[in-house]
Amino acid sequence: MATYSIKEAKAAPSSSKGIFFWLKENLFPDVKNSLLTLVGMYFVYLTIPPLLNWMIFDATWSGTQAEIVKEGARWIFIIEKFDQFMYGFYPEALHWRPNLVLFITFAFLASFKLVSNLKVKIAFMLLYPVVCFLLISGGWFGLETVETEKWGGLMLTLVVAAVGIIASFPLGIVLALGRQSDMPIVKTLCVGFIEFIRGVPLITILFMASVVLPLFFSDGIDFDKLLRALIGITLFQAAYIAEVVRGGLQAIPKGQYEAAKSLGLGYWQGMILIILPQALKISIPNLVGSFISLFKDTTLVLIIGLFDILAMVTLTNSDTSWLGYEIEGYVFVTLIYWVICFSMSQYSKAVERKFNTEH
């Protein structure tokens, strides 16, 4: 009887491993691809080294304006104006309040995974915006009031985006359900609202909110400008969320609705327990997509004289002692936007993975 001994696996031949193999396989497999690689490398050589030189190696990181000798970016401008970019005109002594809110936000996002009790989760969700608002605006528990005129910079951008996202989400779901409703009045109202809002640009809504609305208020009612903008943005975003959620609702097979009914669940029970969890799950990529685009749309508030982080570039560049630093300002703001949007999309990927129940 022949016995079989397991042979040791041979190492891959030296011609199919190592850096040279990888290079040949991926970058220089044939003449055409080799040429493309060379052109690409030349392009990288043309752009990346000068960019790095400008941003890092030749940049001025400290000192005063008079000491600038290098050709590169003058980051001292950003350092000098950093507080304004971050907090706007928020009083310096009170910067800890927005900082604390940021910390709470991260703690909130992190703890959300750990807590499993649904009631606690909902209580968290309802408490979070209230606590944040009270902390930033003050006027309670002996905290000094900070008027919204003083809010600005990245803080304002985040406030506008967060309020837009948090407030428009439930409103959008209600609108989506209303649009599918059998009740004609509800349906007409929802369809009318969604189509009207989607038919006008955000900039129009902001102008209406900031320029036209105040003319109709009676005297003495000082309706906060930021609040007006927030309401406009929330309504605008809700219409888009409604359409995204409707897409999710329509993707749910009819059998699911019937199954909910046959279990004896009423409309709201069926929706909350059966339909919406599935519909929202498939909508996650689109929802996050529209949240990211909302985050970028918030820059439009600069046309109604609110100083978000982008508007700060212009304002800080009007200081007669610091003229001509637009490029540094815009590059800095671009980086911040990229970091935040990229984090949002990564977070959404994680959420998608978490809810993935497919086998």
Partner 1 sequence: MKLTKIALLCGLAALVPNLANADTLSEVIKKGTLNCGVSTGIPGFSATDSKGVWKGIDVDFCRAVASAVLGDGSKVKYIPLTAKERFTALQSGEIDVLARSSTWTATRDTSLGLNFAGVNYYDGQGFLISKKLGVSSAKELDGATFCIQAGTTSELNLTDYFKANKMEYKAVTYDTSGQTIDGFKKGRCDAVTSDASQLYGLKLKMDDPKSVMVLPEIISKEPLGPVVRQGDDTWFNIVKWTMYATLEAEELGVNAANVDKMLKSDNPSVKRLLGVSGKAGENLGLNADWAYQIVKNVGNYGESFDKHVGKDSPLNISRGLNNLWNNGGLMYSMPVR
88 touches partner 1 by CB under 8 A: yes
Q: Does 210 bind partner 1 (CB under 8 A)?
A: yes
Is the Cβ–Cβ distance between 97 and 138 less than 8 Å? Answer: yes
Residue 319 beta carbon to partner 1: minimum distance, rounded to whole angstroms: 5
8 A C-beta contact, residue 284 and residue 354: no
The verdict on 133 binding partner 1 (CB under 8 A) reads no
Q: Cα separation of 163 and 172, whole Å?
A: 14
Residues facing 74 on adjacent strands: 60
What is the rounded CA–CA span in Å between residue 179 and residue 35?
Answer: 56
From 122-130, 191-199, 207-215, 243-251, give the range in contact with partner 1 by CB under 8 A. Answer: 207-215
Instruction: Give the phi and the psi of residue 2 in degrees, each rounded to 5.
Output: -75, 135
Give the interface size with partner 1 as a residue count (CB under 8 A).
Answer: 39
Residue 71 to residue 55: CA distance in whole angstroms: 10
For position 69 contacting partner 1 by CB under 8 A, the verdict is no
Rounded Cα distance between 188 and 165, Å, is 25
Least distance in angstroms from the C-beta of 289 to partner 1: 29
CB of 67 to partner 1, least distance (A): 17
| Beta bridge mates, 151 | 88
Block residue for tokens 């199919």 = 16
Q: Which is nearer to partner 1, 151 or 169 (CB)?
A: 151
CB of 58 to partner 1, least distance (A): 15
- Give the Cα separation of 158 and 90 in Å (integer): 14
Q: Exactly one of 320, 357, 358, 359 binds partner 1 (CB under 8 A); which one?
A: 320
Mapping DSSP to helix (H, G, I), strand (E, B) and coil, where does residue 58 land? coil
Placement of tokens 């009740």 in the chain: 183
In angstroms, the CA 130 to CA 111 distance is: 18
Q: Which residue, 240 or 325, is less far from partner 1 as judged by CB?
A: 325
Using CB under 8 A as the binding rule, whether residue 317 contacts partner 1 is answered as yes
Asked whether the beta carbons of 45 and 286 are under 8 A apart, the reply is no
Cα Rg for the chain, rounded, in angstroms?
A: 27
- Least distance between partner 1 and beta carbon 61 (Å): 17
Q: Which residues pair with 98 in a beta bridge?
A: none
Q: Quick one: which segment of 13-21, 116-124, 130-138, 209-217 binds partner 1 (CB under 8 A)?
A: 209-217
Q: Which stretch binds partner 1 (CB under 8 A): 2-10, 106-114, 159-167, 307-315?
A: 307-315
Please give the single-letter amino acid code of residue 188.
T
Gap between the Cα atoms of 129 and 127, Å rounded: 6
Q: How far is the CB of 105 from partner 1 (least distance, A)?
A: 24
In angstroms, rounded to a whole number, what is the distance separating the alpha carbons of residues 106 and 108?
A: 5
Which range binds partner 1 by CB under 8 A, 229-237, 246-254, 284-292, 298-306? 298-306
Q: Which residue's CB is nearer to partner 1, number 133 or number 330?
A: 330
Place of tokens 């046309």: 303
* Span of 27-35, 79-87, 134-142, 169-177 interacting with partner 1 by CB under 8 A: 79-87
The contact mask relative to partner 1 for 149-168 (x = CB under 8 A, - = no) is x-------------------
Of 176 and 302, the one with the shorter C-beta distance to partner 1 is 302
Closest to 206 measured CA to CA, from 330, 57, 323, 306: 306
Q: Which stretch binds partner 1 (CB under 8 A): 54-62, 171-179, 188-196, 322-330?
A: 322-330
The yes or no reply on residue 93 touching partner 1 (CB under 8 A) is no
Which member of 36, 211, 335, 350 binds partner 1 (CB under 8 A)? 211
| Number of neighbours of residue 227 by Cβ within 10 angstroms | 12
Based on the shown chain and the rule CB under 8 A, indicate whether residue 357 belongs to the binding site for partner 1.
no
Strand, helix or coil for residue 217: coil
Provide the binding-site residues for partner 1, judged by CB under 8 A: 80-81, 83-84, 88-89, 92, 147, 149, 207, 210-212, 214-219, 222, 225, 302-305, 307, 311, 314-324, 326
